[in-house]
Structure 1
Amino acid sequence: MKKYPIGIFDSGIGGLTIANAIKSVLPNENIIYYGDTEHLPYGEKSKEAIQSFSKRIIRFLLTKRCKIIVIACNSASSVADESVTNIACNTSIFNVIDPIIAEVSKISTKDNIGVIGTKATISSGIYEEKLKKLCRNRKIKSLATPLLAPMIEEGFINEEISNTIIANYLSSTQLKNINHLILACTHYPLIQQEIKKYYRNNVNVIDSANIVANYIAKKLEEDNLLNNEKLSEYNFYVSNYTDSFEKSARFFFEEVIKLEQVNIFS
C-alpha cells in the first residue's frame, strides 16, 4: 500500500498547484493526475454534472490502485457528497476545502475573511457554512470570479489584461475591508503574486496549496501510508489533450513525466 500512488484530479491545470505542493512536501510519493480538460471549467457546470464527472474519474483512479484520492478542485469539492465519496470503499478521498477551513479557524474572529472562487463554489455557500459552524459570528465576504480560471487556463498570467480583470474583481465592494483572502479555486495560486501586488501586502492571501499538501502529509503519516522509497513517478492523464496542460505539467514537474490522453467519458 505504501508504494501505491496518490490520485489527484481537477478539470484542468489548477490541480497541478496541489500536485506540485504534494510533490514538494512528499518527494517520495508516486502521483497519478487526471485532468478533465474536455469539461473545463467545472465552475460553470451544474452540481449533477460535476458529481457525474467526479464519479467517473474516481473510478478510473481506483483502477490505478491509488492509496488515497485528492479532489484538487474547489467546485468538485463543494458538491462532492456521499454519493461521490462512498464509491471509493476503503480508499480515503480528501477535498481541498476542509484543510483550508481547519487553518482559517485559527484566525481571530474579529478579522474579516474574503472568499473568491468559481460560480459553483461560491453559490454552494460551502465556505460560509463550514466556517460559521465553527464560529457563528465569523464575518465572511464571498465573490464569484468566473473569468479567472479560464483566463489562467489560456495562459493570461501577469499581463495587462489579467491584472485588469483581477483588479476589477478585487475592487468589488463585496470584498471591502477584508483582512484575509481565501483563494477558493486551485487555479488561483497561479496568480497569487498578482493578487498580493494588488493588495500591497495589506491582506493576508492564504496559500491553499501548501495547506492542503501538509494536511495530506499528516493524514498519510497517521495512517502509516508514507512511501519511504525514493523512486517517485508522475503519470498524467487528460480527457482531451491540450498544449497548455502539457506545458503546465512540465513547468511544475521538471522530472520526466508521462502524459496520456484517456477519455473515460465516451
Structure 2
Amino acid sequence: MHTSAPIGIFDSGIGGLTVAHAVTRLLPNENIIYFGDTAHLPYGDKSATAIQAYSIKICNVLLQQKCKVILIACNSASAAAYELVKEYVGSKAKVMNVIDPVVAFLGENYANKTIGLIGTKQTVNSNIYRKKIDFLEKGITLKSLATPLLAPMIEEGFFNHNISESIINEYLQNATLDDIEALILGCTHYPLIKKQINQYYNGKVTVLDTSEIVAKSLYDYLESSHLLNEMNAHIRHFYVSDYTQSFETSTKIFFGEQIRLQHYPLWE
C-alpha cells in the first residue's frame, strides 16, 4: 500500500465533514476522498440492514479509488455496519469507525466517572457505546439520550440559531443527563452545535468533540503503520449520492474554499 493512497471518509451527509475537517487539519498532506450519502440521510432513523447496504455500496466506490483507509465517519453506520464492512473490505484497506477511538479515550481519561451520550436513535438503541464501555471495566457510568431532531436540524442549516438553541436546551434538560461530568457528542453532526452545547453547560460539563479524537486515532494508526503521506501535494474529492445546496454550503464553511461536488448515484 502506497503512502500517497487516499483516505476514504463517508457519512450520510454533512456530519462527516466535521471528521474530514479534523483529519485535514491534523494530516494536511493526506489525500482525502469524501462520500456524503445525501440521498439517504439521515442514517439515524434507518434500519441496520439499510445502513449496511448503503455502506457496502459506498465502500465499493472508495475501494475503486484505492483508499488505504476507509473511515466510517458516522456513528449510526459505525454501530450498524462496521463489522460487516471490515469483513467485506478484508485486507484491501484499513477500516476504522468513530466509536472505538472515543471509547478508548474515555477509558484512558474518565475512569469511575459519569458520562452522558447524545446521538441518533440508531446509535443509542444499539447500545454499542454501553457495551464497549462496560467491556473496559473502568467503572464508567453511561447515561444515553436519543436526540433525533438534531441531525436533520443541522442538515437544514439550523445551527448557531435561536431555533437550534431551543431544541438543544430541550434535550439537555432531560433528567437522563443529570449529574454527568462529560458529554459525548455521539453523532458527527453535533460538533457543529458544540458552541451552543457549551453555552448551555457553562463550563460545568466537558463536551467531547469526537471528531478530534477520531482524527488523532487515525494519525496514530498511519504513523505506526508507516503510511503517513510525506508529500506536500494533496487532493480532495467530494462525492454526493444526491446534490443538495446545504452540503455545498457546508463544505465552503468547513474548508474556506469552493469545493467541487461530484454527483455519484449509488443505485444506478
Superposition TM-score, scaled by structure 1 size: 0.97
What corresponds to 2:211 in structure 1?
209
Amino acid aligned to 2:56: K
TM-aligned CA deviation for residue 233 of structure 1: 1.1
CA contact (8 A) 2:113 2:139 kept: no
Identify which range, 252-261 or 96-105, moves more after superposition: 252-261
CA contact (8 A) 2:72 2:82 kept: no
Identify which range, 241-250 or 185-194, moves more after superposition: 241-250
What corresponds to 1:188 in structure 2?
190
Amino acid aligned to 1:56: K
SS at match of 2:23: helix
Superposition TM-score, scaled by structure 2 size: 0.97
TM-aligned CA deviation for residue 129 of structure 1: 0.4
Distance 2:110 2:248 in 1: 41
What corresponds to 1:55 in structure 2?
56
Residue 153 (structure 1) aligned with residue 155 (structure 2): yes
CA contact (8 A) 1:3 1:227 kept: yes
TM-aligned CA deviation for residue 81 of structure 1: 4.4
CA contact (8 A) 2:124 2:144 kept: yes
Count of aligned residue pairs for this structure pair: 266
CA contact (8 A) 2:82 2:97 kept: no
What corresponds to 2:74 in structure 1?
73
What corresponds to 2:40 in structure 1?
39
Distance 2:258 2:189 in 1: 23
Residue 105 (structure 1) aligned with residue 107 (structure 2): yes
Distance 1:260 1:225 in 2: 27
TM-aligned CA deviation for residue 256 of structure 1: 5.3
Pick aligned residue for 2:143 from 136, 141, 165:
141
SS at match of 1:182: strand
Q: 1:257 to 1:230 in 2, by over 3 A?
A: farther
Amino acid aligned to 1:9: F
Residue-by-residue CA offset, 1:35-62 (whole Å, 9 max, x unaligned): 0000000000000000110010011100
**Mind listing any 5+ residue stretches in structure 2 that lack a counterpart?**
none
Distance 1:169 1:135 in 2: 29
Residue-by-residue CA offset, 1:166-187 (whole Å, 9 max, x unaligned): 0000000000110010000000
SS at match of 2:108: coil
Amino acid aligned to 2:97: N
What corresponds to 1:261 in structure 2?
263
What corresponds to 1:123 in structure 2?
125
Q: 1:136 to 1:3 in 2, by over 3 A?
A: closer
SS at match of 1:40: coil
Q: RMSD in angstroms over aligned alpha carbons?
A: 1.1
Flag as ranges the 4+ runs of structure 1 deviating above 4 A: none
Residue-by-residue CA offset, 1:85-132 (whole Å, 9 max, x unaligned): 112122110000000001011234332100000000000000000001
Q: 1:108 to 1:143 in 2, by over 3 A?
A: same
**Mind listing any 5+ residue stretches in structure 1 that lack a counterpart?**
none
Distance 1:228 1:92 in 2: 19
Residue-by-residue CA offset, 1:210-250 (whole Å, 9 max, x unaligned): 11001101101111111111111110000000011011112
Distance 1:75 1:177 in 2: 26
What corresponds to 2:226 in structure 1?
224
